[in-house]
Amino acid sequence: MIAPRRGSTAVEVERRRGRERRTLRDRVTVEEPMEIRLEVVQPGGRTETHQVAVTMRTPGDDFELAAGFLFSEGLIGRRRDIRTITYCTGPETQEYNVVSVALRPGVTFDEALLDRNFYTTSSCGVCGKASLEAVEIRGCPVFPKGSGPVWAPGMLKGLPDALREGQGVFQRTGGIHAAALVRPDGSFVSLREDVGRHNAVDKVVGHQLLEGRIPADDTLLVVSGRTSFEILQKALTAGVPGVAAVGAPSSLAVDLAREFGMTLVGFLRDDGFNVYAGGQRVEGAEDAA
């Protein structure tokens, strides 16, 4: 039986307000390392275990995080590649912080992808990635100009509040990111939280992958912070045609969106937003700030 994992924990803090000092209990977001391992059955039946990545994450939805990470990085290509996903318990010193993904017999992966020395943190995601050329080499699709859903400005402007209302850990700690996939009518397909922005996206993508709903081409990815190249790449790999964020995009995120026909919206507020690419999927986008 899997032990319950908590996204927040209580700590003792000293609160200062002017000359007043009080000692009290407060809740903070949990951050712990998680190692992802990949088990591959070789010809003859021997199983090889590869250590793929270590990420600092908030416990919870760990199997989705592992599946989403492996899919986003091109190490697996579809749901049926996966035989099982389990925690490595027993003699492990980091019980429930090591996740092993076993591939089906006959399924292989490009071991050269492991040479990038995956190490992720809550702030920067996977380091040392190549840029647009690498995405093109992987064969990610270019979205035709007239394809995909259309999103109403009113729905977009309401997303930050809707996202915050769905963040249970954020309500308790105020210190966690969120990512969600949203239908054109504003309803949420899935919402996940994590101390790392990239991890939250991987959890959402992993959820869709394990449910057999990739490509998620009828949805919009919404993130609570800024958008980077990494986040746009993960959305593109999952077949998501658009990304909307409460914060700003990076220059390379804008380049990727324009190169692959994606929609990119930033600075979501209740009074407006910016459209950086793919405005044809936003009703009246030419009027947006």
For Cα atoms 130, 136, 138, give the angle at the middle one, nearest 5 degrees: 85
Rounded alpha-carbon distances, angstroms, from residue 259 to 133, 134, 150, 151, 256: 11, 13, 19, 21, 5
Predicted TM-score of the model (pTM):
0.86
Q: How far apart are CA 231 and CA 143, in angstroms?
A: 17
* 119 and 218 assigned to the same domain: no
Q: Exactly one of 88, 124, 127, 140 is catalytic; which is it?
A: 124
CATH number of the domain enclosing 265 = 3.40.140.10
* 91 and 185 assigned to the same domain: no
Q: Which of 120, 148, 123, 75 is nearest to 228 (CA)?
A: 123
In the residue annotation, 124 being an active-site residue is answered as yes
Q: What is the pLDDT of residue 138?
A: 67
Q: Look at residue 44 and tell me if it is in a domain.
A: yes
Tell me the per-residue pLDDT of 71-122, one tens digit each, with 9 for 90 and over.
999 999 999 999 999 998 666 556 789 999 999 999 988 887 776 545 554 4
Q: Look at residue 127 and tell me if it is in a domain.
A: yes
Q: How far apart are CA 246 and CA 232, in angstroms?
A: 14
Which residues, 6 or more positions from 90, have their beta carbon under 8 angstroms from its beta carbon? none
- Looking at per-residue confidence, does 86 or 15 come out higher? 86
CB 54 within 8 A of CB 34: yes
Query: What is the domain extent for residue 60?
Result: 32-137
Tell me the per-residue pLDDT of 165-200, one tens digit each, with 9 for 90 and over.
877 655 566 568 899 999 999 999 999 999 899 999
* 129 and 167 assigned to the same domain: no
Looking at the structure of the chain, the number of domains it has is 2
- Asked if residue 3 has pLDDT above 90, the reply is no
Residue 71 belongs to what H/E stretch? helix 62-72
**Residue 286 pLDDT class (50, 70, 90 cuts):** very low
Which of 137, 165, 190 finishes a domain?
137
Q: What is the pLDDT of residue 175?
A: 66
Most confident of the ranges 124-138, 158-172, 253-267: 253-267
Q: Look at residue 23 and tell me if it is in a domain.
A: no
Which of 137, 163, 180 finishes a domain?
137
- Asked if residue 281 has pLDDT above 80, the reply is yes
* 189 and 130 assigned to the same domain: no
Q: Look at residue 242 and tell me if it is in a domain.
A: yes
Q: What is the pLDDT of residue 116?
A: 58
- Looking at per-residue confidence, does 130 or 178 come out higher? 178
* 124 and 162 assigned to the same domain: no
- Asked if residue 15 has pLDDT above 60, the reply is yes
| 172 backbone dihedrals φ, ψ, rounded to 5° | -90, -30
Q: Look at residue 14 and tell me if it is in a domain.
A: no
* 163 and 283 assigned to the same domain: yes
Q: What is the pLDDT of residue 140?
A: 79
Tell me the per-residue pLDDT of 20-53, one tens digit each, with 9 for 90 and over.
989 988 888 888 899 999 999 988 889 999 999 9
Residue 215 belongs to what H/E stretch? none
* 3-state SS class at 53: strand
